[in-house]
Amino acid sequence: MYADVAVCLPLARTFVYRLNQHVEPGCRVVVPFRKREVEGFVIGFRKDAPADLEVHEIGSVLDTIPLVRSDIFRLCRWIANYYVTPIGEVLKAALPPGISAKHVDGVKHSPPRRGGVARQPAGCRAGVVSSAETFRQHSLEASPCRARASRPPLGGGEFALTADQTNALSRITCSHGFHPVLLHGITGSGKTEVYMQAVEHCLHAGKTALILVPEIGLTPQLTDRFAERFPNQTAILHSSLTKRQRIDEWLRIYRGEVPIVIGTRSAVFAPLENLALIVVDEEHETSYKQEEVPRYHARDTAVMRAKLAGAAVVLGSATPSMESFHNAESHKYDYLMLTTRVEGRPLPVVEIVNMREEYAAEGKQVVLSRRLLQAVSARLERGEQTMILLNRRGYAAFLLCRHCGFTFQCNSCSVAMTYHRSIEKLLCHYCGLARRPPARCPECDSEYIHYVGEGTERLEAELKHQFPDARIGRIDRDAMRHIRDYERVLGGFRAGDIDILAGTQMIAKGHDFPRVTLVGVIGADAPLALPDFRAAERTFQLLTQVAGRSGRGDRPGEVVIQSYFPDHYTFQLAITQRFEDFYARESRYRKAMFYPPFTALAGIMVADRDAVRAGNTAREIGEYLDSLRSNAIRILGPAPAPLERIKRMHRHQLLIKSASRSTLHQLLGRLREYIEDRKLGATRVFIDVDPVSLL
């Protein structure tokens, strides 16, 4: 007997090895491969080997039982086919890093009891918890909320639902089999409560549920609320856990000890059995797309997993993606709308400040407009809280020589370096390169070095200057190194120990702070300048999401957006916060330009340290694609990528559009075979199906 093995390398084809012992499909093995040994997965068997090949034996079998169960195995096969990515890399991504056979040997599998009551982890004495359980307890202790002693009956008691929520919950829980739902609820409409009661319905039926969040640091309240509503029944999977904690959590799920899993995109592979519900919170978030191999989208993968499991899948958002809303419009998804805020609270009033007029009045560029300063001052006097969004970290966007126009670029990437005053360094936000800012221009020796633009670090400094008595906090990737940092700052803000919270998009969604009555948005124009057809969509989503943080308590909210282009339709529609109107306006542009959701799209990226070789390979691929061109296919490029060089790799890209997704996949399949046959060596060619970024 022989086995087909998918090696854990960026190779699409599988390899044949002779079996020397019993092994099951999905088990990991070590095999000889090109003068070395590599790990791989057994994905099938055959009686005969190819006659023209020398077939080697499998070196060793790592797993006595497959860690990738049959349902996850089918999902991985779908990912490999749909995203045109190596099956071995997908199977590797389905397991926590560092897990070995000894972790599961001798473990009895015990599905959760009916009603969702979790069992104590195997090997634990009463009162003794695993390291991951300690992590969950720390998260709860850091939260000002206290765990409730008991849960009220479904849909009643302390958690009584609005009419919209009741209808949504009924539609979600009364369906049988695969049921995709877009839950479109305005900010503050109570989507989370619908999620939790739908999960409780699953638990009462003895089923399990999976909750996906875009980033665990962005949505700590969701994990806290689930943990307090369902104590000891929730496992957490995300990158802030240590390797040991991730393995422990994965094993609790694998053994059937917990019926609920909350996690980021890789949690879509969680080994839950008897799955009845998947929730994708903030489904529009681009962080659900993996930017490295395998380049899968967790939202769309979740829909497929629900289909394979015969489960309901709820995609929730106040600002749905164009793709999901189009699927609802075409009746591929059931559409549920939450039109009112909980307790009848009004949406905040949105005002746009024209920064061109501000510049004319002040005679210089300012960070905070007079209108925003006045609004912040009024909140401080009334003891209310303010959130200010600036989606750029650092102190200054770049350094400019006013004498000769020289800008300080990264040596490895074709981007300007950002100045961080707290560490007195210029940083590249793509490769991490750091250097000391020069006192004089290296080109002309001028001393006229100017700091251009602003980031969250400068915003914080400006706020401290304007409001010296205010308590100010900041959230961005520089200030937040660990999830405990999020808990400390967000917990302090929720407790009223911080008056003004400034930050990047990390503060824009997933938070519920009743004392916040003002939200300010700075630099709202910047995303619209990006060469990406989704720029307007992302700007509208970000503005609407951050506006929704205001007025969630018993006092009305206000939003002040600073813009140099206040008449742009994105800002005008953000005033109303009506996604339907934005979708109608944006759809006209997408249809005319043949872009998703009205066409299938794939990106081809060619990267090489040698600029000439990168360009030549891109042209060769372009010529090959031209030979396959048909009326159903449009090809753009090759051309240098907007960010032409990242980490010393020169990048060229092509875009392929097709009205037929099957036609697109046939073309990509032939392209992948061509790339592997060419053995391009140092040149890397990446296929990205349904790309979310074109930079």
pLDDT digits (tens, 9 = 90+) for 329-350: 999 999 999 988 777 777 888 8
CA 57 to chain centre: 41
Residue 136 in this model has a pLDDT that exceeds 70: no
Residue 215: its pLDDT value, please? Answer: 81
Bridge partner list, 658: 600, 633
pTM for the whole structure: 0.87
Determine the average pLDDT of the residues in 571-575: 88
Residue 142: its pLDDT value, please? Answer: 36
Residue 485 in this model has a pLDDT that exceeds 50: yes
Report all structural domains of the chain as residue ranges with CATH numbers, in order of start: 2-101 (3.40.1440.60), 129-343 (3.40.50.300), 346-395+454-589 (3.40.50.300), 600-689 (3.30.70.600)
Determine which helix (DSSP H) or strand (DSSP E) holds 234, and give its type and residue range: strand 234-237
pLDDT tens-place string over residues 76-99? 999 999 999 999 999 999 999 888
Residue 304: its pLDDT value, please? Answer: 97
Residue 155: its pLDDT value, please? Answer: 40
Residue 279 in this model has a pLDDT that exceeds 50: yes
Residue 483 in this model has a pLDDT that exceeds 80: no
Residue 132: its pLDDT value, please? Answer: 43
Residue 217 in this model has a pLDDT that exceeds 80: no
pLDDT tens-place string over residues 666-679? 999 999 989 888 87
**Is pLDDT larger for residue 514 or for residue 343?**
514
Residue 379: its pLDDT value, please? Answer: 92
Residue 106 in this model has a pLDDT that exceeds 60: no
Q: How many whole angstroms separate alpha carbon 413 and alpha carbon 428? A: 8
Residue 166: its pLDDT value, please? Answer: 92
% pLDDT > 70, the chain: 91
Residue 258: its pLDDT value, please? Answer: 94
* CB contact at 8 A, 66 and 25: yes
Cis before 597 (ω within 30): yes
Task: Give the highest mean pLDDT range of 332-346, 398-412, 584-598.
Answer: 584-598
Indicate the Cα dihedral angle 33, 35, 37, 39, nearest 10°.
-30
* CB contact at 8 A, 131 and 215: no
Q: How many whole angstroms separate alpha carbon 27 and alpha carbon 67? A: 7
Residue 108 in this model has a pLDDT that exceeds 60: no
Residue 127 in this model has a pLDDT that exceeds 70: no
Residue 74: its pLDDT value, please? Answer: 94
Residue 218: its pLDDT value, please? Answer: 60
pLDDT category of residue 153 using cuts at 50, 70 and 90: very low
Residue whose structure tokens are 């090696």: 7
pLDDT tens-place string over residues 362-375? 888 888 999 999 99
pLDDT tens-place string over residues 605-627? 999 999 999 999 999 999 999 99
* CB contact at 8 A, 40 and 4: no
Residue 400 in this model has a pLDDT that exceeds 60: yes
Distances (CA, A) of 124 to 101, 127, 374, 391: 20, 8, 57, 45
Residue 359: its pLDDT value, please? Answer: 86
Residue 510: its pLDDT value, please? Answer: 65
pLDDT category of residue 490 using cuts at 50, 70 and 90: confident
pLDDT tens-place string over residues 29-62? 999 988 899 999 998 888 887 777 778 888 888 8
Residue 121 in this model has a pLDDT that exceeds 50: no
Distances (CA, A) of 565 to 357, 383, 523: 11, 33, 11
Determine the average pLDDT of the residues in 480-486: 74
Determine the average pLDDT of the residues in 435-454: 85
Residue among 508, 463, 515 nearest 492 (CA): 515
Task: Provide the mean pLDDT of the chain.
Answer: 85
3-state secondary structure 16-51: EEECCCCCCCCCEEEEEECCEEEEEEEEEEECCCCC
Determine the average pLDDT of the residues in 268-284: 95
Number of residues that make up the chain: 695
Residue 137: its pLDDT value, please? Answer: 44
Residue 63: its pLDDT value, please? Answer: 85
Residue 119 in this model has a pLDDT that exceeds 50: no
Residue 147: its pLDDT value, please? Answer: 31
Determine the average pLDDT of the residues in 648-674: 93
Extract the tokens encoding 540: 């509208």
Residue 486: its pLDDT value, please? Answer: 76
Determine the average pLDDT of the residues in 143-163: 48
Residue 481: its pLDDT value, please? Answer: 73
